[in-house]
């Protein structure tokens, strides 16, 4: 009866009982919070380990043939035939395409006609020069004849003059002989003028002949140019290789007014190729020529290909204030599996250490949430050099551990290479198994920097 009465009482007072339980839980929670106190920290720690570290530079690049030759058209015209297509293997001297040669053939015929005309002009002037030489010789003979006549007339004039003085002949006869002498002298002067004129005409003909011969050379050059343009209408391969691009179709007009348009692109050898990797400027100081490198491509995600760094090009590329340099990686492609233009994800090792002490990178990034003056006091108390706290000169940095009272304690270390998860310790008072702080949590839910994802242990900090 008593138990039944109690059960009936509880059923009637069920709401009051639940309210009492809830009030007791709230009081218990408030008591626990007040007991723990505000601002209590919980430190996340990780172990210092011993093992191997390989430092690498990661970059993205493009696969390119070792040599790519763009084949252009030197002349303008209409594409009449195409004898090669994409992926066609070609030999040096092989015909790739043919422009319509009609115009260039007409130019060759015209140039040949102009040359023949110039050569005929030269022959004509050479004949004229021979005629001029003959005229000069005739005029020279006439001059000599006139001079001989002058000498005879002069002697005859002297004889007649003497006879006239002696009275044997009349004075009129002496005057006639003197007039004949004057006429002979005039004939000499006319012959000299005629000779000079023929010499001048020969010189003029000689100059015209030189000009005509120069015109022949000009016509020869024009003919050679016309033949060259006709030859360029046939586009041939300059090297052995594989066509990776064809930019024309039959019937398409090719205009070569300002620069030679690229008709084909030929990769010389797809068995030897290169990766142009965009390496950040901060990593170029660590990359060395001859360093082995590996890369992957999306076409073969489960395969890794290897090559070797052959050059770091000095021409920087700036995209949105990010400076990169093309690092060239040579590799063999014997099966021609990799194709030009594929994206390569490159890994270049820049350092390796075996069996070294490794510090989690999160520990190197962690600093306690303390006022600056308290941090400086801790640095001074534990003899931390200034270069470890700010500029990290010489690779000196600070890591934090928990002392025997569960309080943060700084330790100066010197670091070496890193693999983005762990960093090599070269000097410092740490050994494998030691715990270093990688982050902290405040009980009210606020958390600090440096959360390390793995191998963490939880330690209670000071209240």
Q: Which of 335, 351, 367 is the last residue of a domain?
A: 351
- Look at residue 462 in the predicted model and tell me its pLDDT: 37
Q: Which of 307, 327, 351 is the last residue of a domain?
A: 351
| CATH code assigned at 385 | 2.40.420.20
Are 10 and 126 within one domain? no
Are 404 and 451 within one domain? yes
Are 95 and 238 within one domain? yes
Are 121 and 76 within one domain? no
Are 107 and 225 within one domain? yes
| CATH code assigned at 90 | 2.40.50.100
Strands (DSSP E) found in 66-176: 68-72, 77-82, 89-90, 95-99
Are 203 and 108 within one domain? yes
Are 117 and 212 within one domain? yes
In the chain the first and final C-alpha atoms are separated, in Å, by 55
Which residues form the domain of 322? 57-65+267-351
Total number of residues shown for the chain: 463
Does pTM top 0.75 for this prediction?
Answer: no
Range 428-452 average pLDDT = 71
> How confident is the model over 220-241, as pLDDT tens digits?
999 999 999 999 999 999 999 9
- Cα–Cα distance for residue pair 457/434, rounded to 1 Å: 11
Q: How confident is the model at residue 22 (pLDDT cuts 50, 70, 90)?
A: low
Average the pLDDT over each of 25-34, 196-205, 261-270 and give the range with the smallest value: 25-34
| CATH code assigned at 124 | 1.10.287.620
> How confident is the model over 201-224, as pLDDT tens digits?
999 999 999 999 999 999 999 999
Are 199 and 221 within one domain? yes
Arithmetic mean of pLDDT over the chain: 85
Are 118 and 94 within one domain? no
Domains identified in the chain, total number? 5
| CATH code assigned at 306 | 2.40.30.170
- Cα–Cα distance for residue pair 220/122, rounded to 1 Å: 14
- Look at residue 366 in the predicted model and tell me its pLDDT: 92
- Cα–Cα distance for residue pair 354/44, rounded to 1 Å: 27
Residue 43, token pair as written in the block:
């430190």
- Look at residue 420 in the predicted model and tell me its pLDDT: 82
Are 325 and 393 within one domain? no
CB 159 within 8 A of CB 179: no
Average the pLDDT over each of 10-24, 150-164, 351-365, 423-437 and give the range with the smallest value: 10-24
Are 246 and 299 within one domain? no
Are 209 and 108 within one domain? yes
């Amino acid at each position: 009866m008593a138990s039944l009465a109690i059960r009936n009482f509880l059923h009637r007072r069920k709401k009051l009982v639940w309210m009492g339980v809830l009030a007791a839980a709230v009081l218990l929670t408030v008591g626990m919070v007040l007991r723990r106190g505000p601002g209590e920290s919980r430190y996340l720690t990780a172990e210092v380990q011993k093992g191997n570290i390989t430092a690498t530079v990661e970059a993205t690049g493009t696969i390119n043939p070792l040599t790519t030759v763009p084949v252009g058209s030197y002349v303008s015209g209409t594409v009449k035939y195409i004898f090669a297509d994409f992926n066609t293997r070609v030999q040096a001297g092989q015909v790739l395409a043919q422009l319509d040669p009609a115009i260039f053939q007409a130019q060759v015929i015209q140039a040949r006609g102009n040359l023949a005309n110039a050569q005929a002009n030269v022959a004509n002037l050479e004949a004229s020069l021979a005629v001029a030489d003959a005229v000069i010789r005739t005029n020279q003979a006439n001059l000599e004849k006139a001079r001989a006549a002058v000498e005879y007339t002069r002697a005859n004039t002297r004889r007649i003059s003497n006879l006239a003085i002696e009275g044997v002949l009349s004075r009129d006869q002496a005057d006639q002989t003197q007039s004949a002498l004057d006429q002979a002298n005039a004939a000499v002067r006319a012959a000299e003028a005629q000779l000079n004129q023929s010499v001048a005409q020969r010189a003029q003909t000689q100059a015209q002949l030189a000009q005509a011969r120069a015109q022949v050379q000009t016509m020869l050059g024009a003919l050679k140019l016309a033949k060259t343009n006709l030859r360029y209408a046939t586009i041939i391969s300059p090297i052995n290789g594989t066509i990776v691009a064809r930019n024309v179709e039959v019937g398409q007009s090719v205009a070569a007014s300002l620069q030679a348009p690229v008709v084909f692109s030929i990769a010389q050898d797809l068995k030897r190729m290169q990766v142009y990797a965009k390496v950040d400027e901060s990593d170029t100081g660590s990359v060395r020529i001859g360093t082995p490198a590996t890369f992957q491509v999306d076409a073969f995600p489960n395969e890794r290909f290897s090559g070797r760094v052959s050059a770091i090009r000095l021409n920087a590329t700036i995209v949105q204030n990010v400076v990169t340099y093309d690092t060239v990686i040579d590799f063999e492609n014997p099966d021609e599996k990799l194709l030009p233009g594929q994206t390569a994800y490159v890994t270049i090792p820049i350092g390796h250490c075996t069996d070294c002490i490794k510090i989690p990178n999160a520990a190197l990034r962690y600093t306690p949430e303390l006022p600056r003056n308290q941090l400086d006091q801790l640095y001074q108390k534990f003899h931390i050099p200034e270069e470890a706290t700010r500029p990290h000169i010489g690779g000196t940095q600070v890591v934090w551990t928990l002392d025997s009272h569960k309080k943060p304690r700084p330790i100066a270390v010197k670091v070496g290479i890193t693999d983005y998860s762990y960093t090599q310790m070269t000097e410092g008072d740490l050994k494998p198994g030691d715990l270093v702080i990688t982050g902290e949590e405040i009980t009210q839910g606020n958390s600090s920097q440096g959360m390390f994802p793995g191998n963490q242990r939880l330690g209670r900090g000071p209240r």
